Amino acid sequence: MFRSRGHFRHSAGTASESSSSTSPERVADDDTDFFMQVNDSQSSVGVGNLRDLQVDTRQSVALPPISRLPSELLIAIFAKLSSPTDMLNCMRVCQRWATNCVAILWHRPSCNTWENLEKVAGAISNPNSYFPYYEFVKRLNLATLSTMVNDGTIISFAQCKRIERLTLTNCSTLTDTGVSDLVDGNSHLQALDMSELKSLTDHTIFIVARNCLRLQGLNITSCVKVTDDALVTLAESCRQLKRLKLNGVVQVTDRSIQAFVDNCPSMLEIDLQGCRLITNSVVTTLLSTLRYLRELRLAHCDITDQAFLHLPERITFDSLRILDLTACENVRDDAVEKIISSTPRLRNLVLSKCRFITDRAVQAICKLGRNIHYVHLGHCSNITDSAVTQLVKSCNRIRYIDLACCNRLTDASVQQLATLPKLRRIGLVKCQAITDRSILALAKPRIPQHPLGIHQLLNHCPRLTHLSLTGVHAFLREELTAFCREAPPEFTPQQREVFCVFSGGGVSRLRDFLNQAAMAYHRDFEEGTMFDDADEIDEDEGQVTGLMNATGLNDDDDETPEGTTAPIQG
């Protein structure tokens, strides 16, 4: 690594001031829980040496092109490197490359082992370091070493005042002292995860409220000592909050939730699981006011139908995608009907352990049609085959369905579920009325909806060069639309969704694909192989898998409370 020289450190300091504005965002796993990211020599010779020499300006013409690249382009090039080793090697080429690369390398230092953590902390705290590394750290994640981290461990990181995302998940030995020192003065902080830090008190939240005015995401799951006083102050100071997880913060009441509703209009996600002191009225206000809300979790809250029946008439909440009402036992059919009428684009509905809902609630869910992908009805023992059959016919895009402990269901329901083309996971724990017939229905090959008419048309019209099937749902399948031409740029999202036009080479490729698919299907069917639907990437899959694990798929105890939800996504 570079040796300490005062003149160089001065030059590096200048670069660090602009690193945050010129450094492009690293392309990395930002959406997971592990957050990321002068006077030039014009040559590979040290800056100090050149300044001491009388250099003929005509020599600059002979420099290689890469030495004449502006810093912005160098930074963009270095940002494409995925290996820290490659970045380190680039830093060793010359002082100019080092200056432009160091901020990228230190954007998110790796602290996944104790050895790495010691090296990072040592470099940050070393006053003779070649660069002020503490200024480059934007994302810090100590969750991997949660059992080893304590207040003394993180004291070196208190110098890092430009952190944007800080993850301290499960670092249970941390106290107000260590976390407060880390947060104090950190005005750039946007996402803060302090889940499972049960010793934290209002003191830390007050520090966050005073310093982190740009905060957009806060996770204080299971911080049981935090009260309304601190949360109200936080809401009044951090008005840019978009994601808030108060899961298990048992002292939360309507007062603090109302403060967030009044001061944080851009809220996208809020988790109030286990906050049993909140009432119907604040839930009604929350839904009515936060028009951009995408995700609302109210699992194990003592709310009733009235929380939803008093929602404003003729107003729809188009942004809401996920609603979790696990174990809200007093939520019944009337509430579900109101919810469905107000949230037409709901994708994930969790009604597990809402034991009083009946077929009427499921019939209401049917109105969501193709929008609903995940349905959780575990322990809703009043549901019958009739409702499940109607659900399958109306909502053919269901990927996940949990029917654990729905004892009235028989083989008829499972045979219907087996026809869902996109079904990936089904929960039938303790559905004692089902038999081997259900398993055979799920295991047998599915007959694909092969478009025989269009297939024959293509084969009998070999000169066909244009085929428009816009709005024909049988062709709006990923394997077929791959041969479509792009929709015109002026089309709306709704028009793009149903656009399906084949032209030129696309017609020929579609003909070849259908011919091959027909041959493969007949061959596989004769051999008795299982039809395997193409895998499909889904943005909610990780969340829903964890949620289904928590709501009945592996449920051996009807009285065991569930509580696992996805962490905050910054």
Instruction: Give the integer Cα–Cα distance in Å for 106 and 110.
Output: 9
Tokens encoding 436: 């081997």
Question: Cα dihedral angle (360, 363, 368, 374), rounded to 10 degrees?
Answer: 90
Q: Which pLDDT belongs to residue 446?
A: 56
Q: Which pLDDT belongs to residue 451?
A: 60
3-state helix, strand, coil split of the chain in percent (to 5) is 40, 10, 50
DSSP sequence for 65-96: GGGGS-HHHHHHHHTT---HHHHHHHHTT-HH
* Residues 300 and 329 sit within 8 Å (Cβ to Cβ): no
Q: What is the pLDDT along the chain (570 residues), one digit of tens a residue?
A: 444 434 444 444 444 443 344 344 444 444 444 333 333 333 333 333 333 434 444 444 566 777 778 888 888 888 887 777 887 888 888 878 888 778 777 778 888 889 888 888 888 888 888 888 788 888 899 998 888 889 988 888 888 899 999 999 999 999 999 999 999 999 999 999 999 999 999 999 999 999 999 999 999 999 999 999 999 999 999 999 999 999 999 999 999 999 999 999 999 999 999 999 999 999 999 999 999 999 999 999 999 999 999 999 888 999 999 999 999 999 999 999 999 999 999 999 999 999 999 999 999 999 999 999 999 999 999 999 999 999 999 999 999 999 999 999 999 999 899 888 889 899 988 888 888 888 787 776 554 555 667 777 777 778 778 888 887 777 777 788 888 888 888 888 888 888 888 888 888 888 888 888 777 655 544 443 333 333 344 545 444 434 333 333 333 343 333 333 333 333
Instruction: Give the integer Cα–Cα distance in Å for 135 and 342.
Output: 48
502: helix, coil or strand? strand
Expressed in angstroms, the distance from the first to the final Cα of the chain is 33
The 10 Å Cβ neighbour count of residue 145 is 17
pTM for the complete prediction?
0.69
Q: Which pLDDT belongs to residue 62?
A: 66
User: What is the set of domains in the chain, with CATH numbers?
Assistant: 6-105 (no CATH), 142-267 (3.80.10.10), 279-445+532-559 (3.80.10.10), 452-527 (no CATH)
CA angle at 216 for the pair 215 and 217, rounded to the nearest 5°: 105
